[in-house]
Amino acid sequence: MNRPGTWSFLESFLKRRKTARAVVAEQPDPEPETNAQDATTPDDEDLLLRMSTAAWRILVIGLFIAVIIYLLVQVRLAVIPVILAVFVTALLMPPTNWLRRHGLGRGSSTTIAMIGALVVLSGVITMIVQPAIDGFSGLVQSVQEAIEGLPKLAEAMGQDPQAVDQLIKNITEQAQGALQEDWATWVSQAWAAGSSVAELLVGLILVLVLTIYFVHSGDRLVTWLLSLFPAQTRRSLGAAGEIAYGVMGRYVRGVALVGLIDAVGIGVFLIFLIDPSLAIPLIVLTFIGAFLPVIGAFVTGLLAALVALVTEDWVIALIVVAVVIIVQQLESHVFAPRVYGKALELPSAVVLLAITIGGLVASIAGMFLATPTVAVLAALLRNRPSTPSAAEQAEEGDEDAGGAPPPRRPPRPPGRSHHPGAVRAGQHRAVGARRGRTGDGPVRPRRCRRADRTAGRRAVKITRVGGALRILLSPCA
């Protein structure tokens, strides 16, 4: 006998119990109580650990860089020609590639490019040396006239001309006495200069030979160098090499174009303001000074102003200074940003510091090579190549082992079986024909399917029955 309200009481009891369990499940677990003295600071410990790890890494990297720089300085006679050859190659590769695209081979295109470069270099040397020799006598005469005119200039400024004349005579006598007394020192310095000239000639010959080889077979050399490294690092090393070579090429071509603009802009005025025999060497020096950013423009402009002051007068010198300043401002704010692009995104302070360090390490050659080296390092840091995935590394390893990369499995069409023994319908028809069966056969019992799996002779028969796709296991043999 059921009492009235019994079931309603049980239902309300179960409902309250279920609600209580849900409330308990939603409440978070109580945190364990910790004393203030036992509390730890893992963030501080992690920070100290990261700082110590970073400090050790910085020390190791700094030591490695110092060792590399020391070794490069010791073998600078071979390192500097290699770097210069790479720069010259970056200048010669565009015309060489153009010749190759128009049907010429490696040998013919390399020969034409090198002959053209040598002709241009010979013309530049002729433009510097011959006018300088012709104008040297005039320059010496102008200097002598300027020295003789110093007493008159001192008298015009209210100074004693005889004291100035006596000072000039004393300086001349001291110079002659130093030359006569320290002749042994001068001989040793001349011998050292001769050794430097011999090293310079050897370096120039090495630059020429390396440039010919790089232009002809530079890509093969890069491929051979990459083959010396493990397969998993070749992609990143190749990408870094492409970035470095691209930056060097854009830098050299940009500097050459900017130097040409400066030389033409300043040279047009120098030819009309001073002696043309002295203006032509100054024009060429202005072009060469462009390869020394920031400092080169100042030095060449100062030299042009001094030559104008000595050979002409102070008014012409001021005009030359004004012309140099205007051209340099146009070059810095208009031409250089468009020409360089991202090849030389370096602050002026970084450029000055790099040139100073380069001069201390490798004298004049280091000053010329410091800026492009820093530009390459900055480009590599900005465009760090990504690390290849594991699949790409495995694929490269298979290719290096001599075998072809494994083919990718084609995607299964919709409605097909995912059984490992599934084959195409055409393949199954061939299997059925080989077994003497055509058409739609009945479904075989389970023992036949088990026998097929055991013997390893599994196939799939795809037939259409009533517009539906069925997969039937082939009969056992």
Tokens 């870094």 map to which residue? 240
Q: Give pLDDT tens digits for 165-197.
A: 777 677 776 666 665 655 556 556 656 656 677
What's the domain count of the chain? 3
Q: Which of 307, 318, 324 is nearest to 268 (CA)?
A: 324
Question: Secondary structure of the chain: what % helix, strand, coil (to 5)?
Answer: 75, 5, 20
Q: Are residues 239 and 361 in the same domain?
A: yes
The predicted pLDDT at position 193 comes to 56
Distance CA 417, CA 428 (A): 13
Q: What is the mean pLDDT of residues 155-171?
A: 68
The predicted pLDDT at position 421 comes to 45
Give alpha helix (H) positions in 290-347.
Answer: 295-311, 314-330, 336-340
Q: Give exposure, 427-451, as e/b (b: 16+ Cβ within 10 Å).
A: ebeebbeeeeeeeeeeeeeeeebee
Tell me the CB-side half-sphere exposure of residue 51, using CA atoms within 13 A: 6
Q: Are residues 274 and 306 in the same domain?
A: yes
Distance CA 126, CA 122 (A): 6
Has residue 189 been placed in a domain? Answer: no
Has residue 240 been placed in a domain? Answer: yes
Has residue 411 been placed in a domain? Answer: no
Distance CA 243, CA 418 (A): 46
Distance CA 451, CA 437 (A): 18
Widest pairwise Cα distance in the chain: 148
Q: Are residues 287 and 363 in the same domain?
A: yes
The predicted pLDDT at position 433 comes to 45
Has residue 162 been placed in a domain? Answer: yes
pLDDT at residue 431 is higher than 50: no
- The two tokens of residue 238 are 């190749």
pLDDT at residue 415 is higher than 50: no
Q: Are residues 218 and 311 in the same domain?
A: no
- The answer to whether 418 and 412 are in contact (CB under 8 A) is yes
Q: Which residues on neighbouring strands pair with residue 461, listed in sequence order?
A: 472
The one-character DSSP state at 32 is P
Q: Of the segments 216-230, 362-376, 397-411, which one has the largest average pLDDT value?
A: 216-230
Distance CA 93, CA 212 (A): 11
Q: Give pLDDT tens digits for 254-280.
A: 888 888 888 888 888 888 888 777 787
Least confident of 78-87, 125-134, 325-334, 403-412: 403-412
Tokens 């090495």 map to which residue? 206
Has residue 25 been placed in a domain? Answer: no
For CA atoms 242, 245, 248, 251, the dihedral sign is: negative
Q: Which residue among 185, 210, 228 closes a domain?
A: 228
Least confident of 77-86, 108-117, 278-287, 443-452: 443-452
> Looking at per-residue confidence, does 405 or 189 come out higher?
189
pLDDT at residue 430 is higher than 50: no
> Looking at per-residue confidence, does 391 or 303 come out higher?
303
> Looking at per-residue confidence, does 272 or 130 come out higher?
272
The predicted pLDDT at position 229 comes to 85
Q: Are residues 128 and 149 in the same domain?
A: yes
Has residue 178 been placed in a domain? Answer: no
Q: Which of 331, 364, 316, 367 is nearest to 258 (CA)?
A: 331
The predicted pLDDT at position 51 comes to 83
Tell me, yes or no, if the pTM score tops 0.85. no
Please, which pLDDT band fits residue 112 given cuts at 50, 70 and 90? very high
Q: What are phi and psi of 469, to 5 degrees?
A: -95, 120
Q: Are residues 223 and 261 in the same domain?
A: no
The predicted pLDDT at position 164 comes to 66
Mean pLDDT of the chain: 71
Q: Give pLDDT tens digits for 1-58.
A: 445 556 676 777 777 777 777 776 666 655 555 554 444 455 666 777 888 888 888 8
pLDDT at residue 387 is higher than 60: no
Q: Are residues 214 and 237 in the same domain?
A: no
Q: Give pLDDT tens digits for 80-97.
A: 888 888 888 888 888 898
Q: Give pLDDT tens digits for 206-241.
A: 888 999 998 888 888 888 888 888 888 888 888 888
Q: Are residues 375 and 450 in the same domain?
A: no
- The answer to whether 289 and 302 are in contact (CB under 8 A) is no
Distance CA 308, CA 304 (A): 6
Query: Helices 295-311 & 348-382, crossing angle to 10 degrees?
Result: 150
pLDDT at residue 456 is higher than 70: no
pLDDT at residue 422 is higher than 50: no
Q: Which residue among 387, 416, 437 closes a domain?
A: 387
pLDDT at residue 457 is higher than 60: no
Domain that holds residue 455: 425-473
Q: Are residues 366 and 457 in the same domain?
A: no
Distance CA 161, CA 154 (A): 6
Has residue 134 been placed in a domain? Answer: yes
Q: Are residues 346 and 436 in the same domain?
A: no
324 exposure class (CB count in 10 Å sphere: 0-12, 13-18, 19+): buried
Has residue 417 been placed in a domain? Answer: no
- The answer to whether 135 and 277 are in contact (CB under 8 A) is yes
- The answer to whether 359 and 366 are in contact (CB under 8 A) is yes
Q: Are residues 319 and 219 in the same domain?
A: no
Q: Are residues 224 and 243 in the same domain?
A: no
